[in-house]
Amino acid sequence: MKIADNIVVLDLTDERGTYHPTLVWDEHEVVLIDTGLPGQLELISKAIAPLGFSLADITKVIITHQDHDHIGCVNELRHLGAQILAHKDEVPYLEGLKTPVRLSELEEDLKSRSESLNDGERDYYEQVKSNAPLFYTSVDRELDDGEVLDCCGGIKVVHTPGHMPGHIVLHLLGENIIVAGDAANVLVGEFVGPNPVFTSKARMPQAQESFTKMMALEPRLVVCFHGGVHEVV
């Protein structure tokens, strides 16, 4: 979906669901915000081809946070030459220096229920644990709150912790559009903040504060990774 002359919201749909990375470009840079699930690289390639771009044209990938549906294709794009950018608080998780938050939460839950676990739950934990290193990636540039990337009309980094420690949204200044990652969602046609199903109860108050911070920027459009584009009235 094209929402400005140089901004397209991609629609990556397969049997696992629909996800919405965002592509923004100028004469020097082609920037992809989030990368979808593992195995969706070909879907990205097909989505950007009508715009005249190939995967090798992507110069920068900005990761909003560490969840696997946002970083699934990041290493393949890095190997094609893209620079990887993420908030400084996410970098230790992305590079494997800290245990990913989802895995850490799962470990804590399993320890608290060790005597009541079934084989399926143990197998799921082992699968997540063994797969985690597949998503570790080198980060070329650490981002900070308030930083503005001098490309594509200006891309401002807004730190919105809660859903994840280093979660960011990107304010596309030239068009006053916010790419929200998981700081906001469109669920069953309704625009909402962080999804409590995927944001821990302990982190939800901070995530709600971050949603308020984001909306205080008064964007005209918000792009939600889950749900697509919301027009702010």
Q: For all residues of the chain together, what is the average pLDDT?
A: 94
> Tell me: the pLDDT tens digits for 58-93?
999 999 999 999 999 999 999 999 999 999 999 999
pTM listed for this prediction? 0.94
**Is residue 106's pLDDT more than 90?**
no
pLDDT at 114: 66
Bridge partners, residue 18, by sequence = 13
Q: Where are the domains of the chain?
A: 2-96+136-231, 101-132
Bridge partners, residue 177, by sequence = 172, 221
> What is the rounded distance in angstroms from the CA atom of residue 160 to the CA atom of residue 30?
24
**Is residue 117's pLDDT more than 90?**
no
Identify the weakest region by mean pLDDT among 53-57, 76-80, 112-116. Answer: 112-116
**Is residue 149's pLDDT more than 70?**
yes
**2-96+136-231 placed in CATH 3.40.50.300:** no
Angle value at C-alpha 202, between 197 and 203, nearest 5 degrees: 75
